[in-house]
A and B are shown apart, each in its own frame.
Chain A
């Protein structure tokens, strides 16, 4: 059964400083990875999707996938206080998988002015 873990549980950075979040997964056959953001009291919004090893950039968000080490990272360039939210990693095995998306517990990011 797929296990997805995120670290750190919470992270505080100053406005403009790079924020890096980590997500590890257990199923090496996983091929579908997304980072979501959830502001308090709101639904989840997708930030970046990545399907192969390497990097994928969407605005100020960059996902970095290394399936051999079972890691997918999210880097946030020059975060603003409005980026303070819960960040969730979601992993799926689309090919031959059961179509079930497994989420990590999340990282709470606080960006201080």
Chain B
């Protein structure tokens, strides 16, 4: 059974570019989360989907960050335009659906913005 798959694993972008990160959740999972991880801030929630519906969009990340879930097995996170401060690891996680269920994480996409 495949876990959470994220691509690309590494991305280098120039300031102002648009980048798209991809995530395939565990098959059958209804909840999907995008997190940003930095040494200073730790893990910050960007978006949360339940059954493809956006439940939370991470407040402070609204303006340049857009997560979408076009079908139950695929999600994207678009950052447009990128800024150097967006350099971080972006983690995708999925959960079966019950609120007490554990999250399964992908290995992350490391973004470097020059």
**CB neighbours of B106 from chain A (8 A):** 43
Task: Confirm or deny: A82 has a beta carbon within 8 angstroms of a beta carbon on chain B.
Answer: no
Q: Is the CB of A45 within 8 A of B105?
A: yes
Measured between alpha carbons, how far is A43 from B25 in the docked complex, in Å? 13
Task: Confirm or deny: B14 has a beta carbon within 8 angstroms of a beta carbon on chain A.
Answer: no
- Give the size category of A's interface with B: 20 to 34
Task: Confirm or deny: B12 has a beta carbon within 8 angstroms of a beta carbon on chain A.
Answer: no
**CB neighbours of A90 from chain B (8 A):** 103
Task: Confirm or deny: A23 has a beta carbon within 8 angstroms of a beta carbon on chain B.
Answer: no
Q: Is the CB of B99 within 8 A of A46?
A: no
- Give the size category of B's interface with A: 10 to 19
Write the chain A residue with the least CB distance to B3: A43
Task: Confirm or deny: A59 has a beta carbon within 8 angstroms of a beta carbon on chain B.
Answer: no
**CB neighbours of B100 from chain A (8 A):** 32, 51, 94
Task: Confirm or deny: B32 has a beta carbon within 8 angstroms of a beta carbon on chain A.
Answer: no
Question: 1/0 per residue B18-29: CB within 8 Å of A?
Answer: 000000000000
Question: 1/0 per residue A22-63: CB within 8 Å of B?
Answer: 000000000010101000011111100101000000000000
Q: Is the CB of A43 within 8 A of B4?
A: yes
A43-B56 in contact given A34-B102, A51-B100, A103-B43 (Cβ < 8 Å): no
8 tightest Cβ-Cβ pairs between the two chains A and B: A43-B105, A94-B99, A103-B43, A44-B105, A105-B42, A43-B107, A46-B102, A94-B100
